[in-house]
Amino acid sequence: MDQKNVRVMAPATVSNLSCGFDVIGLALGEPYDILELELTGSGTVEIAEIRGCSTLSRDPRKNVVGAVLRAIAERADNGTGFRVVLEKGIRPGSGIGSSGASAAAAAFAANELLEGIFTPHEMILFAMEGERLASGAAHADNVAPALLGGITLVRSYEPLDIVQLHVPDELWCVVIHPDTEIKTSVARGILDKHIPLDTAVKQWGNLAGLVAGLYSEDYDLIGRSLADFVAEPKRAGLISGFHELRAAALASGALGAGISGSGPSVFALCRGAESAAEVKLGMSEAMRSGGIAFDAYMSPVSPAGARLI
């Protein structure tokens, strides 16, 4: 009997990793979105319920899950329809891939119900349609790790070419999410459209250094490479206490720290669980001293992306 229902989870992600704007991202162990998907013969997409967030639209034309599933239904072209229940564990506007996780979960779940007719590459392309709706740009630096797990590099967008990078065994990530929201479209809108050559050279060097550090498991090189000369100088002012929070991470032993995605979350990479716990504590104390409410997460880089539960 053909499968008609699936339940899927997809993880939060940290994109950019300071030096890799729009091209690099990693999967976290928590938090995550959960999506329940039913295959129907209606030829339409119905978002029946959204739990954990009252601000998201159930109109499939205005929701990232709807954008992904409508694209998949159109490609399937056989009266395919879907009924969705979405449970948001990742707050929208958090900078840790909220829209990317929902989009990835939708693409993965639909492919399961359609008996795996799409490749991982095609699922990423479908998930990118959700990102296009959310931010105006069909970027893959969140949806690729949300689908595939680990750390992914977008080598090219035209044509799309995703590379899974080596993940050192002791690489952990701490994320502090201040109780504020920054819309991705706003954070993208303040960036310069043209970058001076000397700035681009510094950024390229750091991205290459980060990739080399991952493969050689050179944690010092990883840390030295976590510097952003493109987005962070423009976006730091959107995040209250960012510089203090970054300083607290480094003082607590982080390899490096920066803005997660478009913010307001701030990430820190660490070597090992013990160091990550110290960094989480130091960053949390900085937030409390600033009187800012927040959520804190800590996990190794997750090898798993979207999956059945």
Give DSSP secondary structure letters for 118-174: S-HHHHHHHHHHHHHHHHSS---TTHHHHHH-SEEEEEEETTEEEEEEP--TTEEEE
Q: Is residue 260 a contact partner of residue 175, using CB atoms and an 8 Å limit? A: yes
Q: Is 69 helix (H, G, I), strand (E, B) or coil?
A: helix
Question: Is 152 one of the annotated active-site residues of the chain?
Answer: no
184 classed as catalytic: yes
Q: Is 24 buried (19+), middle (13-18) or exposed (0-12) by CB count in 10 A?
A: buried
List 80, 112, 184, 232, catalytic entry: 184
Residues 6+ apart with CB under 8 A from 160: 121, 124, 125, 140, 154
Cα–Cα dist 17/268, whole Å: 9
Separation of alpha carbons 264 and 228, rounded Å? 16
Active-site residue identified among 131, 152, 232, 278: 131
Classify residue 145 as exposed, middle or buried by CB count within 10 Å of its CB (0-12, 13-18, 19+). Answer: buried
Catalytic residues: 131, 184
